[in-house]
Amino acid sequence: MTNCIEVRGLGMRFGKKHVLRGVDLDVRTGSVTALLGRNGIGKSTLLKILVGFHPPTSGTARVMGMDPVKRGPDVRRLVGYVPDRMELPKWMTIRDHFRFLEPFYPTWDRALVSELLGRLQLDADAKLATQSKGQRAKHALIAALAHRPQLLFLDEPFSGLDPVARHEVLTAVMGHLRDEGRTVLVVSHSMNDIERVADRLVFLDEGRVRLDMDLEEVQRRARRVAVTLRPGAGAWTPPGAPMSSRTGDDVVLTYLDWDDAHDAALAADPAVAETRVLPRDLNDVFLAAVGKDALTCAAS
């Protein structure tokens, strides 16, 4: 199967609020796709639709060829899902939770659970009420990986983790990716982590896919350029840059589709005194993809 997820015209409305507006998305089998966008833009809602927790208002979704609305339990047996938060009884221990989950998954692997508990340094007899945020993230990841799913959905798995916990969770995710044929769809605001694990970027904005591109292509085509204008240049229109920031005679341009024509245009512009290439940053790619109105959420 070339695509393990196929979404066509997917819409989701809560009351009068439209969260998703005609989303089209294909996720290749064996890929690691990062789903990016501002808070409240519908990323978590999309994951919940794909695991069968929310029926969409319009459009269709197929996961491993199945409709998650009609075959939600079958989909969830093949999918490992780490939600942005888990609501579980505080009296439970991690072991209690795993015992509860195991009967639902014929492929549950107790040996893998023991291995991951040791690798992530979690006590299976610790009560959920005593867990730190990092421990909750590790616990949720083990629960998602325990039945060796073909698909792994991660909703903000690195959010709020300290550097040590972040490294441990990333290492566990990377270990999962080494299993042949595994596919991951991850929602995250941590651009550095995304760049370490993803091979494809999908940007959502205003309920639609605004950019869908392989990370390698983004790294090749995206460019940040610092431009120094000549004194007295006045108003200046940058050639083809989707985003620019100007302070006096200094301008920073962010391109999603840099090519030699842009380089030649800057070199030939009489208002330009100097140009230099800046280090590329996925935060800037994100801003360029969704527009300047996203500036306030770039660091979230």
Q: Where are the domains of the chain?
A: 3-217, 223-279
Those residues with Cβ within 8 angstroms of residue 83's Cβ, 6 or more apart along the chain or in another chain: 44, 47, 140, 155
Nearest to residue 50, comparing CAs of 106, 4, 1? 4
DSSP designation for 129: G
Q: So what's the pLDDT on residue 124? A: 95
Task: Read off the pTM.
Answer: 0.83
Residues pairing with 186 in the sheet: 34, 154
Q: So what's the pLDDT on residue 299? A: 28
Those residues with Cβ within 8 angstroms of residue 9's Cβ, 6 or more apart along the chain or in another chain: 22, 23, 24, 58, 59, 60
Scanning 125-185, the segments in alpha helix (DSSP H) are 133-145, 163-177
Those residues with Cβ within 8 angstroms of residue 102's Cβ, 6 or more apart along the chain or in another chain: 108, 110, 146
Query: b/e for 78-96, b at 16 or more Cβ within 10 A?
Result: bbbbbbeeeebeeeebbeb
Q: Which CATH number fits domain 3-217: 3.40.630.30, 3.40.50.300, 3.40.50.280, 3.40.50.720?
A: 3.40.50.300
Counting Cα atoms < 13 Å in the Cβ hemisphere of 196 gives 15
Q: Which stretches of the chain drop beneath a pLDDT of 50?
A: 292-300
Distance, CA of 174 to CA of 88 (rounded, Å):
27
Those residues with Cβ within 8 angstroms of residue 232's Cβ, 6 or more apart along the chain or in another chain: none
Q: Taking a C-beta distance cutoff of 8 angstroms, is the pair 255, 222 a contact?
A: yes
Q: Taking a C-beta distance cutoff of 8 angstroms, is the pair 64, 75 a contact?
A: yes
The full length of the chain comes to: 300
Q: So what's the pLDDT on residue 242? A: 67
Q: Taking a C-beta distance cutoff of 8 angstroms, is the pair 246, 155 a contact?
A: no
Distance, CA of 99 to CA of 110 (rounded, Å):
10
Q: How many CB atoms lie within 10 A of CB 179?
A: 12
Q: Taking a C-beta distance cutoff of 8 angstroms, is the pair 223, 258 a contact?
A: yes
Q: So what's the pLDDT on residue 294? A: 35
Distance of CA 98 to the CA centre of its chain: 26
Q: So what's the pLDDT on residue 298? A: 29
